[in-house]
Amino acid sequence: MPGVLPEQTEPALLLLDMDTRNAQLLATLLHADGYQVETCKSGAAALARVAQAPRPRALILDVSPARTGDLETVRRVHTLRPDLSIFLITAHPQVARSLDPEPRGWLQVYVKPLDYPALLRALAESEPA
């Protein structure tokens, strides 16, 4: 109908991955499984995005020890949005342990190669009721 604004939908997931091809592949898979996905390429962009409305309900982040800012981005996002579920994907799980040695509900770590079905289950469990 003309003049009627479409209902604003929440971008369910924010995906931060410096590797454009990996980000595009994961975003395509998640979209095929019914998720709305927005991607960004830097920690600064992710921080800016989680502060804007509509706010994403989860952040998926590829973490590498070669990128020292990755963990700082996670810390700052969690400080800004403690309600946000964060899913780390990494080939180096020891890096994630420096963030939070005891896994909690807000932080989940997935070791590469990614167990995609496990990530989907965790995303479904993290959805607000």
Query: What secondary structure does DSSP assign to 18-76, as a single string?
Result: S-HHHHHHHHHHHHHTT--EEEESSHHHHHHHHTSSSPPSEEEEEE-TT-THHHHHHHH
Are the beta carbons of 33 and 13 closer than 8 angstroms? no
> Does position 64 have pLDDT exceeding 90, yes or no?
no
- Is the overall model pTM greater than 0.75, yes or no? yes
**Token duo for residue 47:** 């921080």
- Of 80, 129, 74, nearest to 104 by C-alpha is 74
Give residue-wise pLDDT tens across range 9-58.
555 899 999 899 999 999 999 999 999 999 999 999 999 999 999 889 89
